[in-house]
Structure formats: structure tokens, C-alpha cells
Amino acid sequence: MKTTAIFDLDGTLLYTLEDLTDSTNYALEKFNYSKCTIEQVREYVGNGVYKLIERAMPLGAENPDFRQCLETFKSHYKENMYNKTRPFDGVLEMLEELKNRKIHIAVVSNKFDAAVKELCSHYFSNLVDTAAGESSNIRKKPAPDSVLAVMKYFCAKPEECVYIGDSEVDIQTAKNAGIDCISVNWGYKDTDFLLAHNASVVVSSCNELLEEIVK
């Protein structure tokens, strides 16, 4: 059994796609660019909000409006990130059971750090021990920096840890950190995609996930 479970946030613990889409389109419309569909945003997420807006805008980061558009997105999202966001089915019960079993719980995300901490506090206040998002002083996933910092925080050995996520970025992050990975298929990438990107274990429910963590 693992002693430390490290989770991705968007698409793993929380359904955030609609709020991300709304904030993306708010920013794009403000600068007179075409809106994205929810399926386009699903493809763009996973590498942080910089990459999300870069992928959503014509010319990406070379667009002269890019920086202002990114800041507009961040400001709008901070005020609207609770509108349609919710934990996936079974997540709260699964986290509570991990907590009951004395397993450390952390969140490591590429979402900007302030939003990660706020969302975790709002939805998982007594369940997540520590949470970290993208910031200027640490490399984002798939770099292992944040995961390694969590392992150090808990004094946990690699074999005692598992990273849980919904994307190829999460699979690579776990590999780079030298720990096991469990992929979930209820997020932004399906089973076929995850297996094609070297997922070793794919689960379809929080009950399955819990069994994999504690076995």
C-alpha cells in the first residue's frame, strides 16, 4: 500500500472544463477573437494557462494581445472558477477513505498556484494536506520538481508514492519523478489515448482508483 497519493487537479479531482472554456472565451471575445468550443479547450488544457491561451489565440504567444489576453483570462477565471466546477463523482468519498487510512494526500497541478490553493481549500479543505500549482520559481509538469517537493515534505520514498492524473503530461511527470502512475479516464483524455501514451494502469471509477492505491 502507498503512503502518499499525489493528484492532478483538473480532469482528475475536479470537473473544470466549462469554467475554463467560459473564461477563455471571455478573454478572446474581449480582444475580438473567435471563441473556442468546449472540445477545443479540452484539447488545449494540461500544460498550464499560458499554453491554454497560447493554443486558443491566433499566432499564439507571438500575438501582440497575448499577454493582456492571458491576464484577462486569469482575472476572469479567479472570479468565476466556482460557477460550474465540481468534484467528479466519488472523489470526496475516495479522499475521505484515503484520509481514514492515514495516507498523505497532495495536489500538484499546472493550473496557476493561487487557483489551485483556492480550489483545494474550497472543495477539499480537510482532505488535501498540501497543494501546489504553477509559479515562477518552480518548473511545471512534466518536470518532477513539485512532485519531488511533495515527497520531501512527507519524507516519502519513491516506492511509497503514486501520482494520479488524466493526461500524458501526468504519465510523464510520474516517470520523471521515479514513481508509479495511475491514469483516470473520466477527465480530458480517454483510455485509448492514455494507453497510447504509455499509461500502465487506467481506472474508470473512484472505487477502482482507491483499490489501486491501497492494494
Q: What is the pLDDT of residue 1?
A: 79
CA angle in degrees (0–180, nearest 5) for 127-11-131: 35
The residue extents of the domains of the chain are 4-15+86-214, 17-80
Q: What is the pLDDT of residue 48?
A: 85
The Cα–Cα gap between 23 and 73 comes to 6
The Cα–Cα gap between 151 and 177 comes to 10
Which amino acid appears at position 35 of this protein?
K
Q: What is the pLDDT of residue 167?
A: 95
Is the CATH number of domain 4-15+86-214 3.40.920.10? no
Q: What is the pLDDT of residue 138?
A: 85
**DSSP E strand stretches across the chain:** 4-7, 14-15, 86-87, 104-112, 130-134, 161-165, 180-184, 202-203
DSSP string, 70-122: HHHHHHHHHHHTTSS-EEPTTHHHHHHHHHHTT-EEEEEEEEEHHHHHHHHHH
For the chain, first and last CA: distance in Å? 5
215 residues of the chain, pLDDT tens digit each: 799 999 999 999 999 999 999 999 999 999 999 999 999 999 999 888 899 999 999 999 999 999 999 999 999 999 999 999 999 999 999 999 999 999 999 999 999 899 999 999 999 989 999 999 988 888 899 999 999 999 999 999 999 999 999 999 999 999 999 999 999 999 999 999 999 999 999 999 999 999 999 98
Pairing verdict, β 104-112 and 86-87: unpaired
Homologous superfamily of the 17-80 domain (CATH): Putative phosphatase; domain 2 (1.10.150.240)
